[in-house]
Chains A and B, each alone.
Chain A
Amino acid sequence: MASAARLGNKVDAGLLAGCVVLSLIAVVLKDQDREPIASALRRTIVAPLVTLQRGAERWRTAWASSDARQAAADSIALRAVKAQALIVENDQLRKIIGLGSRLEWGFVPAEALHSTAPSEDIVTTLTLTSGSTAGIKQYSPVVAPEGLVGTIYKADPTMSIAILYTNPDFRASAMTADGATFGIIYPHTDRVGGSNAYMLELRGVPTRTKLAANTVIYTSGLGGTFPRGITIGNVVQEVKTSEVWTRTYLMRPAVTPSRVTSVLVLTAQRVTQGTGNVWGAAVNTDSAARKIAAAGDSLAKQAALLEAQARQAALDSVKRATIDSVRRSLGAAPMPITPADSAAIKRAGAAGAPGVPGQTAPVVRDTGAAVRRPATPARPDSIKKPR
């Protein structure tokens, strides 16, 4: 029994020694000698394990790459959202810059912070990042490139609060582009939400005046709060009311308050002196057209006056020549023309032509000059007949 155990121990020691020797031989083998052994193992016994390991590593790679892809997709989505917001903001800033360049002076740029409480459905007030130190006062008009936004409710030194046209206290005097129809702008109280959440009413339009849909309405400049010619919106349709002598129209405002991020506040001096044709108001275009037409009429009048004077001078010449001929034929002396007459004619021509700046005075024919020339022989018929 003991010898068997000793034999067993010897066998165990021998096996260990064999394994150790073989391992050391494998360690000391050169690469070209050990590689065939390792390769044979990988292709036979270890092949299933290699397949398992490759699959596991693929799983891990896929897992890691899926996380990376998800992160990349999230980043792209986030950038897309930011890019869209940037595009909108860029567009608004470009418009604001364009409006500023058209206004040239008398405005204060401000960033609009939406301060409406979450419980409110619509935007009725805005907090502006400029205040009284920048020249903003109470009731200063707040405008956007699209048109009228509202008016300043309170002006602090560094910030101000503006009420929008959606505010129940907002009013503005308005008119059509041709200046023929006037009314008062009110916020539309019966809001239905969605795209029609921000609507206006044009009240007080005379019954005799009927406005077509899409008629553009501008501020009239009456009242002194808003200068003339700021776009307010378009007429949508007439609203039936109990008023008999006036009409009320529903209007779609030009500016959507929820999208306003940058505005301009007009100074009091600019309000007093007007904004001109900044919003492309037809009122200004109309006045320019009237001026052009008046200038055209003036030129036409001058041309007609000159033509009449020339015609009169020609008639005078013909008349004078006829009289001279008759007198000569009768043997009488030709009708003398005194230098005073010529001077009078010249004076009349000079004074009669009102003159156009940059234009010379019309040439008036002096019929007396031909008569006074003594060398000119008389026409044969006019000389022979009396004899």
Chain B
Amino acid sequence: MNWTGAARTIVVCAILIVLHFTLRPLLAWRASIDFLIVALLLGSVRLRPGSAAVYGFLLGLVADSLSVGGFGASALGMSVVGFAASWLKAVFFADNLALNGFFLFLAKWVFDLIVLLVGIRSANGIAMQIFVWSPLSAAVTAVAGVIALSLLKPLMEVRTA
């Protein structure tokens, strides 16, 4: 990835991160869009797995710093998801929006699973969260990610591997 591509990726990820802290509170949906996951996947596929893990770890720390409990859970989840995304970048780079959407869905659900299981403090409603709200949130995130990919495609110059 050249410097121009890196700069574009940083800009797009910054936009997504800003959206996470502006649009998401505005919408305030029960199953909310996780723009950090979208930003994580978009950045991870352009990095080496190790770097993607570090990138995910940093994003997770940002998310954890604003959460009440489970500090470190998001960092762990994003590290794993970022590493996996970077490792599976060939798949993710496939010029197929449906496939990209599916991987966004999967990434968000795995992330939620890790956060819920690691940062668990009470078993009350965890099944509901895992099987209802997390899939819903993952689906919404996948849709939003696909839309974001479609809009930012010219900017990012996505190339298939």
Chain A residues in contact with chain B, CB under 8 A?
8, 11-16, 19-20, 22-29, 34, 37-38, 41-42, 45-46, 49-50, 52-53, 55-57, 59-60
Contacts and interface: CB of A to CB of B under 8 A. Distances in A.
B interface majority secondary structure: helix
5 tightest A-B CB contacts, nearest first: A26-B72, A15-B50, A12-B50, A23-B76, A41-B65
Chain A contact residues: helix, strand, loop or mixed:
helix
A15 B62 contact: no
Contact of B53 (A19, A34, A41, A49): A19
Contact of B25 (A25, A41, A53): A53
Given A19-B75, A23-B75, A26-B72, A13 B50 contact: yes
B87 to A, nearest CB: 8
Contact of A27 (B18, B22, B28, B119): B119
Contacts of B23: 56
Interface of B: 17-18, 21-26, 28, 48-51, 53-54, 56-57, 60-62, 64-66, 70-73, 75-76, 79-80, 83, 118-119
Contact of B54 (A19, A38, A56, A60): A19
Contacts of A41: 61-62, 65
B115 to A, nearest CB: 10
Q: Among the interface residues A11, A24, A26, A29, which one has the most CB atoms of the partner chain B within 10 A? A: A26
A27 B61 CA distance: 11
Contact of A12 (B49, B70, B72, B76): B49
A212 to B, nearest CB: 74
Contacts of A42: 65-66
Contacts of A19: 53-54, 56-57, 75-76, 79, 83
Nearest to A53: B21
B83 A16 contact: yes
A53 B66 contact: yes
A52 B21 contact: yes
Contacts of A37: 65, 71
Contact of A24 (B26, B54, B76, B83): B76
Given A8-B50, A11-B50, A20-B79, 17 more contacts: A12-B49, A15-B51, A16-B80, A19-B57, A22-B75, A23-B76, A26-B61, A26-B64, A26-B72, A29-B71, A34-B71, A42-B65, A50-B21, A52-B22, A59-B26, A60-B26, A60-B28
